Amino acid sequence: MSPVMAAGTQHEPDSRALSPLAPSSGAPWLALRPGPLLARHPTLIAGGITLVLILIAGVLAPLWWTGDPLEMKPAVRLRPPSAERWFGSDNFGRDIYTRTLYGSRISLTVGAAVSTLSLVLGTTLGLVVGFYRRLDMIAMRVMDGLMAIPAILLALALMALMKASVQNVIIALLIPEIPRVVRLTRASVLSLREHLMVEGARALGARTPRILLRYVLPGLVAPLIVQGTYIAASAILFEAYLSFLGAGTPPHIPSWGNIMAEGRAYVQLAFWIILFPGIFLAATVLAINLVGDGLRDLLNVR
């Protein structure tokens, strides 16, 4: 039953049976390369290591030779990167290196919170909606309506209605993500609902909540984990977009998006203000995407 076990044997038997004359490896692009986890999933490992490094950098920011991210030193404004200030300083003389490390806290928090909350809420809604036909009709039209609005515009509009705070940024990014999770869950529930085991469980007297939790939910875990990584990656990007457009994290909190947003006026004078937080942001999102791709291959999620 495990998806991992089903993965390896999917194409092999029939391609062998149909082509007795083909070399034993079958089609070269199908060959399963034996080897340790590292050799088979190099991107998963590389992404995981990068992610852990950035996580450590953010959590233990005070230990990495940083100063106070808010300390202004007007005498050393817009200084280029040097031995003293590794990433240079911004228009208030704040140290970009310090701010970038502290900024990773906000970005990682937003990414983790949005993906966890949207998975929990979206899965719950999707399970219920997929199982009750009448609710399905109404709820899915609402979801379709939400999905017709591009995520960034919806998040922007939500931020315009709320006060700027990290918590509200998470809410604004959460709402456009939920319909996508609901759709994914609902599609799986619709197919699993007709499964023989569900009918069997019902015949044995199991109630709907038990069927949903014990029979339907386990089949959803793998695709949801993969989806969760992609949601985290896009949430981190969107947080930066919102901050860049001036509708995100409040200016006194250093987030990657904020640092870059403040640096945009100084592109010609001090390019490093935008460069370094951007490198960190791109590396983080790339690492999460690589982990997501690796998990998708590992768990054999289509």
Site of interaction with other proteins (CB under 8 A):
11, 15, 18-19, 27, 29-30, 43, 148-153, 156-157, 159-160, 233, 237, 240-241, 244-247, 257, 260, 264, 267-268, 271, 274-275, 278, 281-282, 285-286, 289-290, 293
Q: Which is nearer to other proteins, 127 or 159 (CB)?
A: 159
Q: Tell the smallest beta-carbon distance from residue 278 to other proteins (Å).
A: 4
Q: Which helix (H) or strand (E) holds 73?
A: none
Contacts of residue 147, Cβ cutoff 8 Å, sequence gap at least 6: 179, 180, 183
- Please, are residues 264 and 271 in contact by the beta-carbon 8 Å criterion? no
Burial of 281 (0-12, 13-18, 19+ CB in 10 A): buried
Contact 201, 211 (CB under 8 A): yes
- Report DSSP letters for 227-270, one per residue: HHHHHHHHHHHHHHHHHHTT-SS-TTS--HHHHHHHHGGGTTT-
CB of 153 to other proteins, least distance (A): 6
Could you tell me the smallest distance in angstroms from the CB atom of residue 29 to other proteins? 6
Q: Looking at beta carbons only, is 62 or 145 nearer to other proteins?
A: 145
Query: Measured from the CB atom, is 115 or 216 closer to other proteins?
Result: 115
Neighbours of 222 (CB within 10 A): 18
- Compare residues 30 and 221 and give the one whose CB is closer to other proteins: 30
| 7 φ/ψ angles, rounded to the nearest 5 degrees | -60, -50
What is the nearest approach in angstroms of other proteins to the Cβ of residue 180?
A: 10
CB of 156 to other proteins, least distance (A): 5
Best CA proximity match to 256, nearest among 281, 286, 288, 230: 281
Nearer to other proteins, 212 or 247 (CB): 247
